[in-house]
């Protein structure tokens, strides 16, 4: 029977990694992979996490099963960081998920069980969003996320919301939009929040890069602005970037509602979906995050590491933005964008020329990983871009 299976397209980014590894040029630059890199190109384990892991090794006395909701100490320790110190705790409950991906999957499946039939989402987006919506059997409605000037397209969101209502969920990136780096401004979030409330749609807020944009508090601005206006929402959270735990798959799913009974049902439905999918999430990374957040000293170390990462990416962005215009590419918008990614308006031929002639590897969409650039290769990157973007 297996020969009846339809072939599947190869993962473009994994193919790019293979090509990069096979390239013998010493000055090749990898802007494809979606992880943070230091100025020396490493993706190290955070010091705070190393310390927490050492403590875990010493003190953990059982690997027995938890439950489908995972480590609730971890889930609750994140709440003040995501929702704010003064947030009404009776409105929110959560459960652990395998990464932000598992959390997005839970949010979309719970939304479907609650009667949502359409997911409204700006494009381009993280490619897995559309895949998860399709896997859940929901209709995807898209609108333009970025204007030609490189700002967030609030008008496009308003236009799609004009035709939206109950039965619709609106999926928004909390910060550090992947792949564009284009976030809504605070003023835009202040307009979006009452609009979502007035249309009675269900907001799905995906916060995968908190702390990598402008700061832990600043990056939660949009999520908190929305939650101050709407009666209910679902949140998907990832610790894989801001704690550097990618392969340990650390995330959480939260439901927010003032209706205590609805909150209990949202969690019970999340738990049954988890049970039938992965039974329970992997524990190690979440336990390490909990130990960091439960210890004031380790929290300080973690936040300082996050500050360093953010500062480095800001430096790279400032240098790129200072180039103003490189061939046909306007560079100034990179300076006001946030997080790991930005998109350059390059065509397929130019992206291929960058790879073949200059050893610069980026996704076929023109997405670049800002953290792939260092003081040692940024001038080479700008000059290569100038050579092809004519």
Ligand X SMILES: Cc1ncc(COP(=O)(O)O)c(C=O)c1O
> How large is the C-alpha radius of gyration of the chain?
21
Of 107, 111, 208, 389, the active-site residue reads 208
Residue 208 binding ligand X, by CB under 6 A: yes
* DSSP letter, residue 55: H
Q: For Cα atoms 342, 385, 211, give the angle at the middle one, nearest 5 degrees.
A: 25
Window 138-177: contact mask with ligand X (x via CB under 6 A)? -----------------------------------x----
Residue 101 binding ligand X, by CB under 6 A: yes
Active site residue 208: yes
Residue 104 binding ligand X, by CB under 6 A: yes
Residue 34 binding ligand X, by CB under 6 A: yes
Active site residue 206: yes
Q: Which is nearer to ligand X, 212 or 382 (CB)?
A: 212
Cα–Cα nearest to 33, from 22, 18, 44: 18
Q: How far is 230 from 359, CA to CA, in rounded Å?
A: 48
Residue 369 binding ligand X, by CB under 6 A: no
Strand pairing partners for 172?
205
Contact 123, 144 (CB under 8 A): yes
Active site residue 357: no
Size of the site for ligand X (CB under 6 A): 14
Strand pairing partners for 206?
173, 236
Active site residue 318: no
Q: Which two tokens stand for residue 274?
A: 């988890």
Residue 71 binding ligand X, by CB under 6 A: no
Q: Is the dihedral of CA 93, 97, 100, 104 positive or negative?
A: negative
Mark the segment that binds ligand X (CB under 6 A) among 64-72, 100-108, 155-163, 374-382.
100-108
Q: Which is nearer to ligand X, 105 or 355 (CB)?
A: 105
Instruction: Name the one residue in this structure whose structure tokens are 């735990």.
Output: 245
Residue 206 binding ligand X, by CB under 6 A: yes
According to CB under 6 A, which one of 96, 178, 350, 369 is a site residue for ligand X?
A: 178
Contact 143, 155 (CB under 8 A): no
According to CB under 6 A, which one of 32, 251, 285, 339 is a site residue for ligand X?
A: 251
Q: Which is nearer to ligand X, 175 or 323 (CB)?
A: 175
Classified as helix, coil or strand, 10 is coil
Catalytic residue annotation: 126, 206, 208, 241
């Amino acid at each position: 029977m297996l020969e009846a299976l339809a072939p599947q397209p190869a993962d473009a980014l994994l193919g790019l990694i293979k090509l990069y590894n096979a390239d013998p040029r010493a000055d090749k630059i990898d802007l494809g992979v979606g992880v943070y890199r230091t100025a020396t190109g490493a993706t190290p384990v955070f010091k705070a996490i190393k310390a927490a892991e050492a403590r875990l090794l010493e003190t953990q006395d059982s690997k027995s099963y938890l439950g489908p909701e995972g480590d609730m100490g971890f889930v609750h320790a994140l709440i003040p960081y995501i929702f704010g110190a003064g947030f009404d705790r009776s409105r929110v409950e959560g459960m652990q998920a395998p990464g932000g991906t598992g959390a997005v999957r839970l949010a979309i499946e719970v939304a479907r069980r609650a009667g949502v039939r359409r997911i409204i989402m700006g494009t381009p987006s993280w490619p897995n969003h559309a895949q998860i919506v399709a896997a859940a059997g929901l209709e995807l409605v898209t609108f333009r996320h970025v204007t030609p000037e490189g700002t967030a397209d609030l008008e496009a969101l308003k236009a799609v919301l004009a035709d939206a209502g109950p039965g619709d969920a609106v999926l928004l990136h909390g910060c550090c939009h992947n792949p564009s780096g284009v976030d809504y401004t605070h003023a835009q979030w202040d307009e979006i929040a009452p609009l979502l409330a007035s249309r009675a749609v269900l907001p799905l807020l995906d916060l995968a890069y908190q702390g990598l944009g402008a700061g832990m508090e600043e990056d939660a601005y949009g999520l908190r602005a929305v939650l101050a206006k709407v009666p209910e929402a679902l949140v998907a959270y990832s610790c894989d970037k801001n704690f550097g735990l990618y392969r340990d798959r650390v995330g959480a799913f939260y439901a927010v509602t003032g209706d205590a009974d609805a909150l209990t049902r949202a969690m019970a439905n999340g738990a049954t979906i988890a049970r039938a999918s992965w039974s329970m999430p992997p524990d190690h990374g979440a336990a390490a995050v909990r130990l960091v957040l439960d210890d004031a000293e380790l929290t300080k170390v973690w936040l300082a590491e996050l500050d360093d990462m953010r500062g480095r990416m800001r430096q790279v962005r400032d240098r790129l933005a200072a180039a103003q215009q490189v061939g046909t590419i306007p560079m100034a918008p990179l300076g006001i964008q946030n997080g790991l990614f930005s998109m350059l308006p390059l065509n397929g031929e130019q992206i291929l020329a960058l790879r073949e002639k200059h050893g610069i590897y980026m996704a076929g969409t023109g997405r670049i990983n800002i953290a792939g650039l260092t003081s040692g290769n940024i001038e080479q990157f700008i000059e290569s871009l100038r050579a092809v973007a004519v």
